[in-house]
Structures are given as C-alpha cells and as structure tokens.
Amino acid sequence: MVDIKYCADNFNSDAVSDERKLCEKFERNLRIISKMEDKRTRKDKCLHFIYWIYEEARKIINKNYSKFTNADFISKFGDVQRKFYKEKDIIYYCKFYFDDTLDNWKEQKILNDYFRNYDKIKLKYPSDRDKCQKV
C-alpha cells in the first residue's frame, strides 16, 4: 500500500470527487516511480505518466470549467508535487511542468504517442513513394 499524504491538504474531503481521485493517483504514482531502480523502466513509466496525467487533468478541467479555473486546479497538483519532492527518501524525480496550456498538453501527448508508436504506424500504413512521384 502506498501512503497518500498531500491530496487532503489541497482537495476537499469529498472522497468521490474526480479531482481528489486523480490527485491520489498522481501522488501514488509519483511515489512508485520515484523508487524504481531500473533507469529505462523509470524513464518510460515517468514519460507515460506525465502525458497520462496531463490528459486526465485536461478532461476534468474541461468537464468542470465553471467549478474552478485552470490555474487553481493545476496549482493544487503543483503543490502536491512540491511537498512530495521535499521528502528525504526520493530516489528518482518524475518532474511535471504545470505551467503550460491545456491545448499544448494535448499536442504534447499526441506527439509523444506518435513518436512512441512510429514503427507500428509505419508498418500499418506504409507509404508508396512511387505513387507520390507520379502525381
């Protein structure tokens, strides 16, 4: 079981709220990734986690836009991250940058998915250079 310490300070005690659940997943995964010993696995998990959390946060913000501002919601996650990284037993840092726009987060995720899956895409949709040159 992973200890969740900081989400309660930033989100109300409504344990069923999407924001609180996402915060708890965020903190739990920061803790798990920070203790991974294999560098390659850590890097892959961290990168995947970054884009996953951006996408999940973007969905919640878009769904609840009248409930809170983008800056307010994001600052709460930044606060959890800052408190977590002040702990002494952190082995590896999976750093998030919450100072970008929601649209840029989406674009970064799409680009990451594209480059991560480039070889699979290339096999599934091969280019026919001969056809391109005839046009």
Write down the pLDDT at residue 9: 83
Contact 96, 77 (CB under 8 A): yes
pLDDT for 91 beyond 80: no
Q: What is the tens place of the pLDDT at every residue in 15-52?
A: 568 888 899 999 999 999 988 999 999 989 998 898 88
Residue 5 · residue 31 · CB < 8 Å: no
| Tens of pLDDT, residues 92-118 | 888 777 776 777 777 888 888 888 888
Predicted confidence at residue 25, as pLDDT, reads 92
Question: CA angle at residue 60 from 97 to 103, to 5 degrees?
Answer: 50
The answer to whether residues 98 and 53 touch, using CB atoms and an 8 Å cutoff, is no
Residue 65: band (very low, low, confident or very high) from pLDDT cuts 50, 70, 90? low
Tokens (6 digits) for 111: 């680009």
Separation of alpha carbons 18 and 62, rounded Å? 12
pLDDT-based confidence at 8, cuts 50/70/90?
Answer: confident
Average pLDDT, the chain: 81
> What is residue 4's DSSP assignment?
-
